[in-house]
């Protein structure tokens, strides 16, 4: 193989290759390692583009496949014009065991071109696909307003959805109203359903084959060669944004050794909601699915959780259905010194123990709506309180799993009428939890220690039968 020709014709950007002391064999390994890394990055970008609804990403990787394949083929052709015969036979040299799998990987990705064209046409149904700038740099005028400024298309930006008039109807605690009709905030408005996107099986096979070839090339560089894995980087960045630091659990290991304790990161409530007027794949795991709230218990398929979040500068429990919570700040009291009876706590402890939730569904919904406005009850307890570092808080959480016949509001079938008692069974929990924020990050999130202090008898709703439809 003509490594001297490679050193003359190939013009890499790396300082390592441009060094006058580098030999042709060093130049070969440096250049091929760069191409291998680019191929690894491209495979990851293609997979990401197929998982989102943004047509700009699909269009970008569609062109990058062609550019990368032409770059690799031109590189291999300069190495040896007879590369196809070499790669078709037994690979006797180490160099051939690098560039042949690299070339095979790029040729595999070319098979995705017609599939990406079809995917791009479907993505264009939900977002704007703009024409690219001319190669010559020629400017195009607006057909309606020729004097308006021209904004050149940029495939690095998120594509603009066709429907961009999505109103801000966000509600902190979506209220389930049973037994009465409610008005919509915007008349005749239905929130758009996000598309469900799944990578085609034929594309998965091509990506797996291309990945297998590139892994064969990586093995020839040995253990000292360090290739960057975009998937691992994405996972690390995701954990950095939403999860605990690894050393935090070790720092508080003594506290976590206590029963019914835990540690988690309290995030702003906005991370749990899709930004308005953006596209999303509803099959992709959301933040709450990747990093679920701590579980307080599990009984008969019912799992109450500790859905603590930040709303502005306040701690707030994100509840659903008819769930609600009471909260109070105890001040700088060590959380490990609290007991089930709250003997070391100020008079707020009495309010936590004496409070009784309503036992009628209508009154329960009224209590929930009142607390949603953060109005104090007779005991002075609130549903959210200002966040302060190194303070200990108490939460009394009421959670209900109502029967599906009540929630859906559908008429009962003759078979269901024969088992009314079974239909009206509910699962519920009444738990007192203490938590203490021990660290605040620059993004406003907190690292919080939590501990279950007491569990009361599961609350019941006595008049559910009145809400059945016969």
All structural domains of the chain with their residue ranges: 3-128+200-228, 240-467
Query: What backbone phi and psi angles, to 5 degrees, belong to 407?
Result: -70, -45
Cα torsion angle, 235, 239, 245, 249, sign: negative
For the stretch 134-190, pLDDT in tens is 555 555 555 555 555 556 667 777 887 877 677 776 554 456 677 676 666 677 777
Distances (CA, A) of 73 to 16, 46, 130, 136, 180: 23, 20, 30, 26, 69
CB 42 within 8 A of CB 68: yes
**What's the confidence (pLDDT) of residue 234?**
93
What is d(CA 276, CA 7) in angstroms, rounded to the nearest whole number? 53
Structure token pair of residue 237: 């960045």
- Please tell me the predicted confidence (pLDDT) of residue 7: 35
- Mean of pLDDT values over 328-334: 90
442-456: per-residue pLDDT in tens?
999 999 999 999 999
Q: Give residue for tokens 């003359």.
A: 8
Phi, psi of 58 (to 5 degrees): -65, -45
Counting beta carbons within 10 angstroms of the beta carbon of residue 115, is it exposed (0 to 12), middle (13 to 18) or buried (19 or more)? middle
**Residue 236 pLDDT grade (very low, low, confident, very high; cuts 50, 70, 90):** very high
Q: Does the pTM of the predicted model rise above 0.85?
A: no
With beta carbons less than 8 A apart as the criterion, state whether 368 and 175 touch: yes
Per-residue pLDDT, 8: 40
Structure tokens that stand for 92 in this block = 């006797």
For residue 46, the model assigns a pLDDT of 96
Question: What is the number of alpha carbons within 13 Å of residue 110 lying toward its C-beta?
Answer: 13
Q: And the tokens for 311? A: 């709303």
Give the pLDDT of residue 405. 86
Nearest 10 degrees: Cα torsion 147, 149, 155, 160: -80
Q: Is residue 40 over pLDDT 90? A: yes
How far lies 72's CA from each of 25, 76, 106, 300, in Å?
Answer: 18, 6, 7, 58
Looking at residues 54-64, what average pLDDT do you find? 91
Please write down the HEC assignment for all residues of the chain: CCHHHHHHHCCCCCHHHHCCCCCHHHHHHHHHHHHHHHHHHHHHHHHHHHHCCCHHHHHHHHHHHHHHHHHHHHHHHHHCCCHHHHHHCCCCCCCHHHHHHHHHHHHHHHCCHHHHHHHHHHHCCCECCCCCCCCCCCCCCCCCCCCCCCCCCCCCCCCCECCCCCCCCCCCCCECCCCCCCCCCCCCCCCCCCCCCCCCHHHHHHHHHHHHHHHHHHHCCCCCCCCCCHHHHHHHHHHHHHCCCHHHHHHCHHHHCCCCEEEEEECEHHHHCCCCCCCCCCCCCCHHHHCCCCECCCECCECCECCEEEECCEEEECCCECCEEEEEEEECCCHHHCCCCCCCCCCHHHHHHHCCCCCCHHHHHHHHHHHHCCCCCCCCCECEEECCCCCEEEEEEEEEECCHHHHHCCECCHHHHCCHHHHCCCEEEEEEEEEEEEEECCCCCEEEEEEEEEECCCCCCCCHHHHCEC
How far is Cα 305 from Cα 262, in angstroms, rounded to an integer?
Answer: 12
Can you tell me the mean pLDDT for 12-30? 53
Summarize pLDDT for 66-115 with one digit per residue, the tens. 999 999 999 999 988 888 888 888 878 888 899 999 999 999 999 999 99
Q: What angle do CA 387, 391, 395 make, to 5 degrees?
A: 75
- The pLDDT of residue 377 is 58
Q: Could you give the C-alpha distances from 349 to 15, 354, 396, in angstroms and in order?
A: 68, 9, 11
Which residues are CB-contacts of 197 (< 8 A; sequence separation ≥ 6)? 50, 51, 52, 53, 281, 283, 284
Percent of the chain exceeding pLDDT 90 equals 46
pLDDT of residue 9: 41
**Nearest-angstrom CA–CA distance, 284 and 303:** 23
User: Would you state the pLDDT for residue 245?
Assistant: 93
What are residue 436's DSSP bridge partners? 449
């Amino acid at each position: 193989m003509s490594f001297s020709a490679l050193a003359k014709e190939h013009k890499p950007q790396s300082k390592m290759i441009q060094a006058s002391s580098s030999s042709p064999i060093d130049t070969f390994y440096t250049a091929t390692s760069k191409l291998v890394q680019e191929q690894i990055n491209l495979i990851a970008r293609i997979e990401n583009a197929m998982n989102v609804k943004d047509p700009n990403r699909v269009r970008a990787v569609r062109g990058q496949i062609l550019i990368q394949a032409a770059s690799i083929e031109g590189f291999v052709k300069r190495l040896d014009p007879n590369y196809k015969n070499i790669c078709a036979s037994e690979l006797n040299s180490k160099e051939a065991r690098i560039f042949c799998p690299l070339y095979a990987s790029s040729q595999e990705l070319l098979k995705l071109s017609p599939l990406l064209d079809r995917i791009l046409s479907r993505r264009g149904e939900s977002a704007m696909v703009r024409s690219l700038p001319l190669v010559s740099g020629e400017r195009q005028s607006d057909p309606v307003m020729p004097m308006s400024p021209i904004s050149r298309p940029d495939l690095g930006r998120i594509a603009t959805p066709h429907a961009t008039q999505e109103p801000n109807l966000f509600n902190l605690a979506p209220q389930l109203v049973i037994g009465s009709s409610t008005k919509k905030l915007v008349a005749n408005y239905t929130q758009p359903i996000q598309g469900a996107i799944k990578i085609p099986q034929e594309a998965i096979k091509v990506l797996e084959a291309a990945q297998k070839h590139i892994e064969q090339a990586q093995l020839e560089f040995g253990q000292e060669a360090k290739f960057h894995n975009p998937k691992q980087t994405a996972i690390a960045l995701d954990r950095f944004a939403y999860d605990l630091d690894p050393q935090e659990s070790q720092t508080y290991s003594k506290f976590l050794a206590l029963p019914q304790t835990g540690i988690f990161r309290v995030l702003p409530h906005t991370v749990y909601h899709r930004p308005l007027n953006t596209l999303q794949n509803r099959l992709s795991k959301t933040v709450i699915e990747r990093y679920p709230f701590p579980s307080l218990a599990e009984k008969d398929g019912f799992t109450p959780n500790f859905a603590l979040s930040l709303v502005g500068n306040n701690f707030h429990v994100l509840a659903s259905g008819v769930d609600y919570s009471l909260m109070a700040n105890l001040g700088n009291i060590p959380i490990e010194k609290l007991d089930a009876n709250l003997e070391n706590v100020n008079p707020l402890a009495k309010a936590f123990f004496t409070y009784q939730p309503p036992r009628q569904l209508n009154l329960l919904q009224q209590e929930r709506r009142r607390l949603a406005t953060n109005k104090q009850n007779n005991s002075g307890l609130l549903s959210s309180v200002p966040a302060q570092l190194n303070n200990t808080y108490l939460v009394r959480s009421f959670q209900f799993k109502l029967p599906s016949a009540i929630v859906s509001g559908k008429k009962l079938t003759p078979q269901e009428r024969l088992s009314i008692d079974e239909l009206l069974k509910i699962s519920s929990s009444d738990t007192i939890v203490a938590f203490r924020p021990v660290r605040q990050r620059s993004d406003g999130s907190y690292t919080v220690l939590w501990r279950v202090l007491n569990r009361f008898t599961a609350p019941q709703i006595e008049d559910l039968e009145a809400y059945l439809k016969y």
